[in-house]
Chain A
Amino acid sequence: GAVVSQHPSWVICKSGTSVKIECRSLDFQATTMFWYRQFPKQSLMLMATSNEGSKATYEQGVEKDKFLINHASLTLSTLTVTSAHPEDSSFYICSAGGVSNYGYTFGSGTRLTVV
């Protein structure tokens, strides 16, 4: 149980375009999901907390207008990287939390490359 599915697993896009990443909880409902970013050889950095039916909460230094988060249902949160630039190239990971026996479950991640 407690599976989080993240798609796509990798994506290449051109500078200036937008990319949407989906995060789904498959067998449980998640009122809260989390989005992380990870650069090579670094740890995961929390970007934002996605709240079902309300606005996301962004960590300090994360541009909310650039990283749009939508959590329209109890099983789906999306992260849209708008007007992507090469410096946005990174590994993006979502998680849904608090399922007691399994801790917090993470998606498999999305490798974004902006060219």
Chain B
Amino acid sequence: DAKTTQPPSMDCAEGRAANLPCNHSTISGNEYVYWYRQIHSQGPQYIIHGLKNNETNEMASLIITEDRKSSTLILPHATLRDTAVYYCIVPTGTASKLTFGTGTRLQVTL
């Protein structure tokens, strides 16, 4: 997979926006950026994915830079239940398997 770099941890106050960055400078033109999160002792949960344009769904927004070398996941109003490890992944290859890096541990506090 295209290598991704994320900060190891971040804190966010409940009710505020959480902005989680990801660098993927080696991404190629047809590769998507996926975001997942893993709450403790659960399977990863799909959040959002995108190619070039910014994307928004009921969970989050994904902002991808014009050169596609980085992206930001935005949780607009973080809650305590958003505390989790967030993974930014760029799958490659015909099998499109997902390789997980170390992710960002987001701690939402009161």
Contacts and interface: CB of A to CB of B under 8 A. Distances in A.
A6 B44 CA distance: 13
A113 B96 CA distance: 30
A103 B43 contact: no
Given A43-B101, A44-B100, A105 B95 contact: no
Q: Is the interface of B mostly helix, strand, loop or mixed?
A: loop
Interface residues of A, number: 25
B102 interface: yes
B98 interface: yes
Given A106-B45, A108-B42, A95 B95 contact: no
Nearest to B45: A106
Interface of B: 34, 36, 38, 41-46, 49, 85, 87, 95-103
B46 A103 contact: yes
A111 B41 contact: yes
Contact of A93 (B34, B43, B87): B43
B46 A102 contact: yes
A105 to B, nearest CB: 7
Contacts of A111: 41
A12 B66 CA distance: 50
